[in-house]
Structure formats: structure tokens, C-alpha cells
């Protein structure tokens, strides 16, 4: 009798477990909602990348992801099959034909690629005062979200004997085990730093140090008129609206107008014995140091005079203010 009583609790537990198993099997499939924003950042697609509200099933891998930055179409029928296979309570809407899922990525700018190659070129003996120019247009390289320029490697690199041409094969992170390869060729150009405008400057505006910054420009693009020093620019103005980040020519700038056409001016002429002065009117615009035409207010004679300061001019020739001609 004692033996039978000892086995009764064990039989009861087994019965309860069997009932719970049957009950669990009878539960309805997990409810699921198709996501509206489909994107992944890894090499696989899980159920959780496609559906919301599926609990622990979210981590089940169902498909391979596209390459970084690329998209992949999944038909509505394939989604239905996935839902049924994994016990999700989801019914494909009649209107749903396909969904598109994109693998997230970012672009490493071409400037960072140039710097990477330039650093390697310097190690190979290239001129430090040089910069990289690619043959063809390089807009950057697309890599997985967790990759950076530090993950880009070299399969090969060669520099010409003159140090002015290069050839490189880069190993680009692909998000998979095998990196992508990118062949690049180009030249190393000798460059020089020059001052350029960092914002638009209008005629009449005085150029200040804060209006300028420096860029590197290939020396072969520079001619004798290009301004090479910021001191040649500060305190001057432009003859016409100036563009940013463009080499500035000496013909682009002029001293600011110190005397405007029609301004009243004091005319002076120096002799060994005295300094003579008279009133006049400017017939032209000019900056300090410019020579302009001025009319004597009393004699109505015109003379050439050099602008000394605002409202002050000095006659260039003639012993007296009366020198000049009617014009």
C-alpha cells in the first residue's frame, strides 16, 4: 500500500505536464505586424527585421542581407511563407506585392581616400608639398555602418620613379568575409597654399583677415597675377562680386574708394617755399594712392591729383594750383 501511495504524486505531475504540453500546442500563433520601415545593418535578415510583436522569434535568421547600401525585394508570397513556417499569425494583405529592405551604409568621402593614399605615397618618398588627383571621378566609397577609413587596406601600391604617378588597389570592407577591391590611379601634383575668400565679398566692402582662409592649389594653375599673400588683400576691396574658394587675381582687387566722383576735396600743391591749397571737386572715384582728375572750384581748371586721404588730394605737376587745362 505504501508503495502505491508513493507513486501517485509522480503520476500526477506527469499528467499535468502532458496537459500543459497539449495546451501549449493548442495556443494560437504569435500575432505579428509587418514593419513599415525595413532596414538592416548586418549581413543577415531576421524575422524581427520584418515583423513586430513576435517575441523571442525576432532573432531567427531567415535571409541573407544585400550588400551595404543596396536593397533587396521580398515578395508578399515569400513573407507569407516565412510567417507560416515560423508560426506567426500574419496574413498577407491583397494589395501587398513586395517589400524592399535596405542594408544601411555610409560613404567614406573621397578626401579621406586621397589622404590615405597620400600618406602611403609619402612613406614611399613622395614630395610633401603635393596632393593626390585621381584619374576619373571618385565620389567616395560605400562601406558598412561600423566601418571607417581605418578599415581600408592596401593589396598593392606603387609610385613612379619621378614620384608623380601612383597605382593602388584598395581593400574595402564589404560587410562579409571577403573585402571588395578598388583599383585607383592618379598623379601627385605640386601644390602651394594661397589665400581665398571664405564668403562672398561685394565691391566697397573692406577685406578683413576673417574673410580669408587658405587652400592648396596646384602650382601649374597659378600665374603671375594670383595673390599669394593675405597682406596683399587685407584693407582692399573687390572690383566685382567675389566668389569663394577661387584664386584671387591682382586685377580682382582695388583700394577702397576714399574719394567718390562729385566729392568736395582739398587740393594741395607743395613748393620749396610753401604749401598752397584750394577747394575742388573730384571727377572720378579713387582709392588712396590713386591718381584722379579734379576740377578747381574757382578757376574751373582740371588737374591730375593723387589721393592722400579721404577728401585730400595732392597735385602731381605744375608749380601752382592754376596749372591745368579746361576740359
Task: Indicate if the pLDDT at residue 153 is higher than 70.
Answer: yes
Task: Indicate if the pLDDT at residue 23 is higher than 60.
Answer: no
Query: Could you report the per-residue pLDDT of 158-204, keeping only the tens digit for each?
Result: 999 998 999 999 999 998 889 999 999 999 999 999 999 999 999 88
Q: Are 88 and 54 spatial neighbours (Cβ–Cβ below 8 Å)?
A: yes
Q: Are 299 and 322 spatial neighbours (Cβ–Cβ below 8 Å)?
A: yes
**Lookup: cell for 131:** 596632393
Query: Could you report the per-residue pLDDT of 55-109, keeping only the tens digit for each?
Result: 999 999 999 999 999 999 999 999 999 999 999 999 999 999 999 999 999 999 9
Domain boundaries, the chain: 15-103, 107-191, 192-254, 257-315
At residue 6 the predicted structure's pLDDT band, cuts being 50, 70 and 90, is: very low
Q: What secondary structure letter does DSSP report for 173? A: -
| Better-predicted residue by pLDDT, 10 or 121 | 121
Give percent above pLDDT 90 in the chain.
Answer: 69
pLDDT score, position 98:
94
Which of the residue ranges 45-59, 79-93, 303-317 would you say has the lowest mean pLDDT?
303-317
**Lookup: cell for 144:** 558598412
pLDDT score, position 221:
87
Residues 6+ apart with CB under 8 A from 251: 225, 239
Q: Which fold has domain 257-315?
A: SH3 type barrels. (2.30.30)
Cα distances (angstroms) measured from residue 116 to each of 148, 151, 169 = 12, 11, 12
- If you average pLDDT over each of 168-172, 273-277, 318-322, which comes out highest? 168-172
Which of the residue ranges 45-59, 179-193, 269-283 would you say has the lowest mean pLDDT?
269-283
**Lookup: cell for 176:** 562579409
Q: CA 257, CA 93: separation in Å to the nearest integer?
A: 74
Buried-exposed string 12-46: b where 16+ CB fall within 10 A, e elsewhere:
eeeeeeeeeeeeeeeeeebebebeeebebebbebb
Q: CA 215, CA 137: separation in Å to the nearest integer?
A: 20
Give the predicted TM-score (pTM) of the model: 0.61
Name the strand (E) or helix (H) holding 6. Answer: helix 2-26
Which class is 192-254 in CATH?
Answer: alpha beta
Length of the chain in terms of residues written: 327
pLDDT score, position 275:
83
Amino acid at each position: 500500500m505504501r508503495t502505491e501511495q508513493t507513486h501517485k504524486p509522480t503520476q500526477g505531475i506527469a499528467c499535468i505536464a502532458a496537459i500543459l504540453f497539449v495546451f501549449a500546442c493548442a495556443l494560437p500563433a504569435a500575432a505579428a505586424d509587418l514593419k513599415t520601415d525595413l532596414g538592416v545593418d548586418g549581413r543577415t535578415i531576421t524575422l524581427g527585421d520584418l515583423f513586430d510583436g513576435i517575441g523571442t522569434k525576432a532573432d531567427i535568421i531567415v535571409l541573407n542581407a544585400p550588400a551595404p547600401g543596396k536593397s533587396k525585394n521580398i515578395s508578399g508570397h515569400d513573407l507569407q511563407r516565412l510567417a507560416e513556417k515560423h508560426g506567426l499569425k500574419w496574413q498577407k494583405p491583397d494589395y501587398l506585392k513586395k517589400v524592399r529592405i535596405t542594408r544601411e551604409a555610409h560613404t567614406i568621402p573621397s578626401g579621406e581616400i586621397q589622404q590615405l593614399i597620400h600618406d602611403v605615397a609619402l612613406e614611399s618618398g613622395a614630395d610633401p608639398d603635393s596632393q593626390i588627383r585621381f584619374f576619373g571621378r571618385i565620389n567616395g566609397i560605400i562601406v558598412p555602418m561600423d566601418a571607417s577609413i581605418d578599415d581600408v587596406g592596401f593589396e598593392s601600391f606603387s609610385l613612379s620613379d619621378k614620384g608623380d604617378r601612383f597605382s593602388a588597389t584598395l581593400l574595402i570592407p564589404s560587410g562579409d568575409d571577403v573585402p571588395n577591391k578598388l583599383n585607383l590611379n592618379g598623379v601627385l601634383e605640386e601644390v602651394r597654399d594661397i589665400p581665398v575668400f571664405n564668403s562672398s565679398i561685394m565691391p566697397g566692402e573692406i577685406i578683413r583677415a576673417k574673410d580669408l582662409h587658405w587652400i592648396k592649389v596646384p602650382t601649374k594653375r597659378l600665374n603671375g597675377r594670383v595673390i599669394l599673400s593675405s597682406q596683399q588683400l587685407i584693407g582692399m576691396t573687390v572690383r566685382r562680386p567675389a566668389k569663394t574658394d577661387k584664386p584671387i587675381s591682382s586685377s580682382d582687387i582695388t583700394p577702397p574708394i576714399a574719394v567718390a566722383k562729385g566729392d568736395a576735396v582739398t587740393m594741395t600743391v607743395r613748393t620749396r617755399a610753401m604749401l598752397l591749397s584750394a577747394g575742388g571737386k573730384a571727377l572720378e572715384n579713387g582709392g588712396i594712392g590713386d591718381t584722379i582728375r579734379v576740377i578747381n572750384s574757382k578757376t574751373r581748371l582740371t588737374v591730375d591729383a593723387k589721393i592722400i586721404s579721404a577728401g585730400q588730394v595732392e597735385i602731381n605737376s605744375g608749380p601752382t594750383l592754376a596749372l591745368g587745362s579746361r576740359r
